[in-house]
Structure 1
Amino acid sequence: MSIKKIWQVYASGSLVRQIVAGLVLGILLAVLWPQGGLSVGILGGFFVGALKAVAPVLVLILVASAIALHKTGNQVYIKPILILYLVGTFGAALVAVAASFLFPTSLTLVTGVVAQTPPSGISEVLHTLLMNVVDNPVRAVANANYIGILAWAVALGLALRHAADSVKNALSELAGAITQIVQWVIRLAPIGVFGLVASTVVATGFGELLAYVKLLLVLVGAMLFVAFVVNPLLVFWKIRRNPYPLVFTCLGQSGLTAFFTRSSAANIPVNMELCRKLGLHEDTYSISIPLGATINMAGAAVTITVLTMAAVHTLGIAVDLPTAVLLSVLASIGACGASGVPGGSLLLIPMACSLFGISNDLATQVVAVGFIIGVVQDSCETALNSSTDVLFTAAADRAEQRKN
Structure 2
Amino acid sequence: MNLLFVTVVPLVFFSIASAVASMADAKRLGKILGVMMLVFTATAIVSSLVMLGVVKIFPMSGEGIVLSMPADVPSQKLSAQIVNAITVSDFRDLLSRKNMLALIIFSILIGLAALFSKRDGERFREFLISGNAVMNKAIGIVMLYAPIGLGAYFAYLVGVFGPQLLGSCVKAVAVYYPAAMVYFFVFFTLYAGLAAGRKGIRAFWANIIPPALTAFATGSSVASIPVNLKASERIGVPEDIREVVIPMGATIHMDGSCLSAVLKIAFIYSVLGMDFSTV
1:116: how far off?
11
In the alignment, structure 1 residue 202 sits paired with structure 2 residue 141: no
Partner of 1:193: 150
RMSD, matched Cα: 2.8
Aligned to 1:58: 11
**1:159 correspondence with 2:133:** no
Distance change in 2, residues 1:115/1:171 (3 Å): farther
Q: Distance in 2 between matches of 1:80 and 1:250?
A: 23
Amino acid at match of 2:18: S
Written as runs of structure 1 = structure 2, the 5 A alignment for 1:316-395 is 316-319=273-276, 324=279
Corresponding position of 1:97: 52
Q: Which runs of 5+ in 1 are unaligned?
A: 1-46, 325-404
Distance 1:73 1:156 in 2: 13
Q: CA deviation at 1:225?
A: 2.3
Moved over 4 A (4+): 72-76, 110-117
- Rounded to whole Å, the distance in 2 between the matches of 1:120 and 1:103 is 35
Superposed displacement of residue 249, structure 1: 3.5
For 1:3-22, what aligned pairs fall within 5 Å after superposition?
none
Alpha-carbon distance in 1 for matches of 2:159, 2:26: 54
1:259 to 213, 216, 222: 216
Q: Give the AA of the match of 1:57.
A: P
* Structure 2: gaps spanning 5 or more residues: none
Pairwise CA distance, 1:232:
2.6
Q: Does 1:179 align with 2:136?
A: yes
Using a 3 Å threshold, how does the CA distance of structure 1 residues 229 and 243 change in structure 2: closer, same or farther? farther
Cα separation, partners in 2 of 1:143 and 1:259, compared to 1, 3 Å? closer
Instruction: Give identity over the alignment, percent.
Output: 23
Q: Which amino acid aligns with 1:207?
A: P
Contact 1:63 1:150 in 2 (8 A): yes
Structure 2 residue aligned with 1:168: 125
8 A Cα contact 2:17 2:111, kept in partner: yes
- Paired letter, 1:51: L
Letter in 2 for 1:268: I
Report the TM-score, using the length of structure 2 for normalisation. 0.85
Instruction: Note the C-alpha offset of 1:151.
Output: 0.8
Distance 2:71 2:221 in 1: 21
1:268 to 2:228 alignment: no
Judging changes above 3 Å, is the alpha-carbon distance between structure 1 residues 282 and 110 closer, same or farther for their aligned structure 2 residues?
farther
C-alpha separation in 2, matches of 1:297 and 1:280: 20
The amino acid that maps onto 2:92 is V
For the residues of structure 1 that align with 2:204 and 2:68, how far apart are their CA atoms?
Answer: 39
Q: Is residue 99 of structure 2 the alignment partner of residue 131 of structure 1?
A: no
Higher relative contact order (CA 8 A, sep 6+): 2
CA deviations over 1:32-66 (Å, ceiling 9, x no partner): xxxxxxxxxxxxxxx2x111111011111111111
How many residue pairs get aligned? The number is 271
